[in-house]
């Protein structure tokens, strides 16, 4: 049986969510979470029984229709209509790894007991997660303000037997997946549709995945910078701690210490250097990589706070006999953080491409384009073109989404975050940076062949040895697309974090 993670009100960290995902752990509600959910649901039902006062989204219309009162007999139909009418997503499907995190985060948010949902509804979401039933969700449609309405509508439609899911390599209709497991459709009660659709779980799921994968990128970037420095016959002086003690940004100090650690025991560093300085793309690695590390730390704080938040509306506080309509669904904190994160990620790629360019330029005893008999062979000329193209596209993707806002719902929703667009753009930036780093890896490893028989440090030799089991030395021209793809997989899977530890 898979290990179990109990959903509760206890603080949930990125390290824990990584453990849940990597360990393929199943979910279950803690006893406390079940009590919170049940207590809030029962309070809401009793409140509706004793009072006919309008409460937004519970017995009123939605958005600019908030002043339209809905009769008690129509409350279930109101929530079902809400779910169907808001399923207006389009574009590419959201990757399954993101949908899985969306399910987890939606359950976590509902489990705090401020949303008024049935226990059965939350348990059905948990069943979807545990059985790897991933609703088909689309990337486009959310303004990132009234929550991620369209994506979350598609996430939750299968609860009603609507929409579509991915299950065991099949794409099924919502009613088909219910039939397979002999499940009845969820009969939505007052507020439930709104609780499911309001929320930032689309944006935040992307943010969680970005944070987890960025740790690998950060480690890989430092390792590759050290390897490229060695291949370029660069100097270790810029990484000495004295320099960084007088400008003590945390990320800068961390990156410099990592590079020094990676260079320890290198024969190449013992050789006399003819040059006085290295280009910025080598010499300023701590300052550039370090700034991105500091940005990552900030984004992790925002994402973690959001993971531990209630982001639907209205919020229900049974102990205080309060139902309050506010704006916790507004994605501005995430939108700003994700835009910032795109820029930070992009800089790891931008400086990487410059190191690639320096290595193929025929300097410091290296042949042009790092191949024997250049001219007859083009060697690694064109992978740098590819890297430059990707970096250029990445710069375009870094134009911030959060500075935009378009009025919707007849002016009721007059400022939106566009955080969903920030999230999907950041995901593309991350994938682009992985590819650029892969090209640097391919280039630095090839350049190291022209430094033999001298050896770099034991840590970096371990990286090279592992890489060469996947991608052979380039002796003469061959189709390099395959090398790049294999290098991308290496960037994603090799334990760089162990190398720098």
For the annotated catalytic residues, the residue numbers are: 56
Other C-beta atoms lying within 10 Å of the C-beta of residue 336: 20
Element holding 317 (H helix, E strand): strand 315-317
Q: Of 204, 205, 202, whose CA–CA distance to 142 is shortest?
A: 202
Sign of CA dihedral 152, 158, 162, 163: positive
Pairing mode of beta strands 26-29, 4-7? parallel
Rounded distance, CA 435 to CA 424, Å? 17
Q: Of 492, 344, 497, whose CA–CA distance to 429 is shortest?
A: 344
The answer to whether the CB of 145 falls within 8 A of the CB of 333 is no
Sequence-ordered list of residues with C-beta below 8 angstroms from that of 359, at least 6 positions apart, any chain: 228, 231, 232, 366, 370, 443, 444, 447
Distance of CA 318 to the CA centre of its chain: 34
- Residue 166 phi, psi dihedral angles, 5° rounding: -105, 125
Beta-bridged to residue 4, according to DSSP, are 26
The answer to whether the CB of 457 falls within 8 A of the CB of 262 is yes
End-to-end CA distance of the chain, in Å?
32
Rounded distance, CA 322 to CA 55, Å? 11
Rounded distance, CA 36 to CA 110, Å? 9
Distances in whole angstroms, Cα of residue 372 to Cα of each of 346, 368, 376: 33, 9, 9
């Amino acid at each position: 049986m898979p290990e179990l993670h109990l959903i509760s009100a206890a603080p949930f960290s990125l390290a824990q969510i990584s453990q849940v995902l990597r360990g393929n752990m199943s979910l279950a509600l803690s006893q406390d979470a079940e009590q919170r959910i049940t207590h809030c649901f029962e309070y809401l039902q009793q409140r509706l029984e004793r009072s006919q006062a309008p409460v937004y989204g519970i017995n009123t219309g939605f958005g600019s229709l908030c002043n339209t009162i809905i009769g008690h007999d129509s409350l279930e139909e109101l929530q079902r209509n809400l779910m169907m009418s808001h399923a207006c997503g389009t574009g590419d499907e959201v990757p399954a790894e993101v949908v899985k995190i969306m399910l987890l985060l939606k359950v976590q948010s509902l489990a705090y007991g401020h949303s008024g949902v049935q226990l059965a509804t939350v348990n059905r979401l948990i069943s979807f997660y545990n059985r790897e039933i991933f609703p088909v969700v689309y990337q486009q449609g959310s303004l990132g303000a009234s929550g991620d309405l369209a994506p979350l509508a598609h996430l939750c439609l299968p609860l009603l037997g609507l929409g579509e899911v991915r299950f065991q390599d099949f794409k099924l209709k919502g009613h088909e997946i219910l039939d397979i497991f002999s499940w009845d459709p969820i009969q939505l009660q007052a507020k439930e549709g709104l609780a499911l659709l309001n929320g930032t779980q689309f944006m935040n799921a992307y943010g969680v995945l970005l944070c987890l994968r960025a740790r690998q990128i950060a480690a890989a970037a430092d390792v590759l910078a050290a390897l490229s420095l060695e291949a370029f016959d660069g100097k270790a002086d810029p990484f000495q701690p004295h320099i960084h003690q007088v400008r003590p940004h945390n990320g800068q100090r961390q990156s410099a210490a990592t590079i020094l650690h990676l260079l320890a025991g290198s024969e190449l560093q013992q050789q006399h250097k003819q040059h006085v300085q290295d280009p910025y793309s080598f010499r300023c690695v701590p300052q550039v990589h370090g700034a991105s590390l500091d940005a990552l730390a900030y984004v992790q704080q925002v994402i973690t706070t959001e993971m531990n938040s209630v982001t639907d509306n209205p919020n229900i506080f049974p102990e205080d006999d309060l139902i309050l309509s506010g704006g916790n669904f507004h994605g501005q904190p995430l939108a700003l953080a994700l835009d910032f994160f795109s820029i930070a990620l992009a800089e790891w790629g931008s400086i990487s491409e410059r190191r690639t360019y320096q290595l193929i330029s025929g300097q410091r005893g290296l042949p042009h384009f790092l191949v024997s008999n250049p001219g007859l062979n083009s060697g690694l000329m064109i992978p740098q073109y590819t890297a430059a193209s990707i970096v250029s596209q990445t710069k375009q993707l870094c134009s911030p989404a959060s500075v935009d806002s378009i009025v919707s719902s007849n002016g009721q929703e007059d400022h939106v975050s566009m955080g969903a667009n920030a999230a999907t753009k950041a995901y593309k930036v991350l994938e682009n940076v992985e590819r650029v780093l892969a090209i640097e890896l391919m280039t630095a490893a090839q350049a190291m062949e022209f430094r033999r028989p001298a050896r770099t440090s034991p840590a970096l030799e371990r990286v090279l040895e592992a890489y060469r089991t996947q991608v052979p030395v380039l002796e003469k021209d061959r189709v390099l697309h395959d090398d790049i793809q294999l290098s991308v997989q290496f960037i994603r899977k090799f334990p760089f974090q162990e190398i720098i530890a």
